[in-house]
Amino acid sequence: MSDRKYRQRGYQDSDRDRRDKPSGNRSGPKPETFGPRTPNFPAAHTVVRCAGCGTILPADFDPQGRCPRCGFELHSCKQCAYFESAARFECTRPINARIPRKDVRNECSYFAPRTTIERQTSPGSGNSVRASNDPRQAFENLFKK
């Protein structure tokens, strides 16, 4: 008969429980892993998009010119990397006077085109006609027999 009322493991356990039960050690070598797994990120590339229509501009675009698709002035505050609507005069650089219209051409000496790093999620992604039809094609492929 047992000297305890309940058979839960606790501070009064002795070696008799360990002798009766087999050890939980598994036979065979354990695989060695060092550190976290390396994530498999998709490729990234830097692009400049038009602030008016969102078109990806070519790498050799003229910052003094206009967008080839919509005609938006590229040397404007909205296209600049330092444009911030919450900052003083809506610019993170120390300018002396506010430029009233942010979408027209100006002669700011701090201008730098806004570049972004985008992930390439599918081959051939970009502004192509085929890329715009991919969601429809994927939807139609779901219900093919």
- Asked if residue 18 is part of any domain, the answer here is no
Residues 57/50, Cβ–Cβ less than 8 Å:
yes
pLDDT at 20: 56
- Laid out side by side, the sheet with 56-57 consists of 56-57, 44-49, 115-119
How many angstroms separate the CA atoms of 85 and 51, rounded?
14
- Asked if residue 60 is part of any domain, the answer here is yes
* Residues 6+ away with beta carbon under 8 Å from 38: none
- Asked if residue 105 is part of any domain, the answer here is yes
Lowest model confidence (mean pLDDT) among 19-23, 49-53, 83-87, 90-94: 19-23
Domain count along the chain: 1
Lowest model confidence (mean pLDDT) among 28-32, 52-56, 67-71, 124-128: 124-128
Question: What is the pTM assigned to this prediction?
Answer: 0.50
pLDDT at 128: 45
* Domain membership of residue 83 as a residue range: 43-114
Residue 17 has pLDDT above 60, yes or no: no
According to DSSP, residue 111 is labeled -
List the beta bridge partners of residue 115.
48
**pLDDT tens-digit map of 23-43:** 555 566 666 677 787 777 778
How many angstroms separate the CA atoms of 49 and 74, rounded?
10
- Asked if residue 94 is part of any domain, the answer here is yes
- Closest by CA position to 106, among listed 119, 128, 91: 91
Q: Residue 127's pLDDT band (boundaries 50, 70, 90)? A: very low
According to DSSP, residue 96 is labeled S
User: How many other C-beta atoms can be found within 10 angstroms of the C-beta atom of residue 51?
Assistant: 21
Lowest model confidence (mean pLDDT) among 26-40, 58-72, 118-132: 118-132
- Asked if residue 20 is part of any domain, the answer here is no
| Amino acid making up residue 108 | C
Of the two residues 30 and 124, the one the predictor is more confident about is 30
- Asked if residue 107 is part of any domain, the answer here is yes
- Asked if residue 78 is part of any domain, the answer here is yes
Instruction: Give the length of the chain.
Output: 145
Residue with tokens 């505050």: 77
